[in-house]
């Protein structure tokens, strides 16, 4: 078990960890597919989404709403249906459907008693503002792909995060825990950077991966949800009293 009392900051993935993007993605895309008389299983939707997203995040940097538009167009191409410009924006226009998990707000509130904390997220600022209203609790920082100019799992995002926390809070790498649902986007690069990490293995249509490509890596700790993490952390600090 980690000694939680020796850390000063928790950095988080947001979508998949704080926000149930899996449910939001499925709701939006299934509405579109129904209107096109296209039948695709939930698992296949998520698998294709993960591949399309990853492919689109390479090359010249584009903000995430453009990535979402491209994902929809790739679905249309793969399953042979037409989409209008309005339909191609179905994911970003329905971003309000990406809502927090039931344990997110209370866990943030609990964990903030012990740490500085905020997300390192593959998103753009305008879209994160929608999520911020739903999270209720104010975070210490929000570091987005738009700020950094690249997407996780690029190590550049983690290098940016480490510099930001050191420059603004005097927090060193060995004082940080990175918490995330995606092994591919977060646990693998955090491990490569020598950052202590926790895998939040949330329930999913695609167990073990969720909306991400698969990755083989052993996290420093695994929890099923943020409620469990908050309880374990609180217990560690109580034991110190």
100 vs 17: CA distance, rounded Å: 9
CB-count burial class (<10 Å; 0-12, 13-18, 19+) for 39: exposed
Q: Is 13 a catalytic residue?
A: yes
Q: Which of 13, 20, 186, 225 is catalytic?
A: 13
Cite the beta strand spans of 3-99 per DSSP E: 9-12
165 vs 141: CA distance, rounded Å: 9
CA dihedral sign of residues 120, 197, 71, 74: positive
Taking CA atoms, 51 is separated from 70, 205, 216, 227, in Å, by: 12, 16, 17, 30
9 vs 175: CA distance, rounded Å: 6
The total of other beta-carbon atoms located within 10 Å of residue 135's CB is 18
Name which of 230, 231, 188, 178 is nearest 209 in CA terms: 188
* Cα distance from N-terminal residue to C-terminal residue, the chain: 18
Which residue shows structure tokens 């980690």? 2
The DSSP bridge pattern shows strands 143-144 and 9-12 to be: unpaired
The residues assigned a catalytic role are 13
């Amino acid at each position: 078990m980690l000694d939680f009392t020796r850390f000063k900051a928790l950095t988080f993935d947001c979508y998949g960890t704080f926000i149930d993007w899996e449910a939001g993605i499925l709701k939006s895309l299934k509405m579109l597919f129904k209107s096109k008389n296209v039948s695709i299983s939930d698992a296949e939707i998520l698998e294709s989404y993960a591949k399309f997203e990853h492919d689109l995040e390479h090359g010249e940097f584009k903000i995430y709403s453009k990535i979402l538009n491209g994902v929809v167009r790739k679905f249309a191409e793969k399953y042979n249906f037409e989409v209008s410009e309005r339909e191609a924006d179905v994911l970003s226009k329905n971003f309000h459907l990406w809502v927090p998990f039931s344990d997110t707000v209370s866990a943030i509130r609990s964990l903030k008693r012990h740490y500085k904390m905020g997300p390192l997220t593959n998103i753009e600022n305008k879209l994160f503002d929608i999520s911020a209203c739903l999270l209720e609790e104010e975070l210490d920082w929000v570091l987005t792909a738009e700020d950094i100019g690249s997407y996780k799992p690029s190590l550049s995002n983690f290098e940016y995060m480490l510099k930001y926390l050191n420059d603004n809070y005097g927090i060193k790498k060995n004082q940080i825990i990175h918490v995330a649902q995606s092994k591919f986007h977060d646990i693998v690069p955090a491990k490569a950077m020598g950052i202590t990490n926790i895998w939040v293995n949330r329930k999913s249509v695609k167990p073990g991966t969720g909306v991400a490509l698969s990755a083989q890596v052993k996290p420093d700790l695994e929890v099923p949800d943020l409620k469990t993490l908050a309880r374990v952390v609180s217990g560690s600090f109580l034991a110190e009293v």
